[in-house]
Every structure is written in structure tokens, then in C-alpha cells.
Amino acid sequence: MDELIYSLPDLKATELLAKKIASFIKPHDSILLYGPLGVGKTSLARALLRVVCRDPYMEVPSPSFTLVQQYDTFEFSLYHYDLWRLNHEDDLIELDWEDAKEGVTLVEWPERLGSLIPDNALQIHLSIQSETLRHARLTGWPDRLSLLSV
């Protein structure tokens, strides 16, 4: 299986996708969220963080200005990056990119990673279909992608 397509008609569907993904995350994983402004990258990231941290009401600020937020879960540290304001991939050195890869990295605007895009990352390409409908195309995770279709 090379890819999966999910329809996301509302926030509930986004949360269900996040729950599926969270059940297969392990240390050293990278989850890359692609798509234009307003497509729902931050909503998916928040839902995923709430599931992984086992706190459905957890406040999850967008790391738009800090560029990275760290969350310590029971199994690993998760680093949520928003690279919208990143000027060059070399700037990731200051954001502890190499250390973060020991845990799990969740990246909005991964295009800014340039040559640092991790191998075997789960790539989620979000697209706007209508005012409320989004599509998520998942690729990567060759050993686990098919498990997300169940």
C-alpha cells in the first residue's frame, strides 16, 4: 500500500484520524503535515498531541512564534515544530532538531526542512475540498501505513 486517502468533513473526523495515527507512533518517528494555510494542519497536530499525551482537554498552543514546543509523554518526548517562519534549514540546529529526532517530531510546513526531511516519515498532505471538507493523503511508514486503513 503506497497511500491512504481520508475524507475529513469535520473536526471529529480529524480527531479520529489523529487517534489512529497515535496508536502506531514510536520513538524516532516523524510526522510531516503539508498543506496551505487554513487547511487544518494545526487542528490535526492538536488532536494528535491530546491523544498521545492522554489529555483530551490539554491546551496546545501553536508553535508559530516559538517554532517548537516539547511534550513529554509516557513513552517518548514529542517535538511539535511549526516551520512557517524558518528562513533556512540550517536554522534547525538552534531548534535542537538532531536531539528531537531521538523522540518523535511532528512538523507543520516540512517543506522548510529541505534536505533534512527524515526517511520513512509519515507524510500527511491535507487539501481543501470545500468550505468544510478536507482530504488527507497519507504516505510513508511502509511498515505501518496499511494498519491505518483498518
The string of pLDDT tens digits covering residues 34-53 is 999 989 999 999 999 999 99
Would residue 69 count as lying in a domain? Answer: yes
Would residue 49 count as lying in a domain? Answer: yes
Supply the range of the domain harboring residue 58: 28-128
> Which of these, 108, 140, 106, lies nearest to 126 by C-alpha position?
108
Under 8 Å between Cβ of 27 and 103: yes
Whole-number Å distance between alpha carbons of 20 and 150: 9
Regarding pTM above 0.85, the answer is yes
pLDDT for 132 beyond 90 = no
SS3 (DSSP) at 94: helix
Would residue 135 count as lying in a domain? Answer: no
Would residue 134 count as lying in a domain? Answer: no
Count CB-CB contacts under 10 A for residue 23: 12
CATH code for the domain of 75: 3.40.50.300
Would residue 68 count as lying in a domain? Answer: yes
Would residue 139 count as lying in a domain? Answer: no
- Note the pLDDT of residue 41: 93
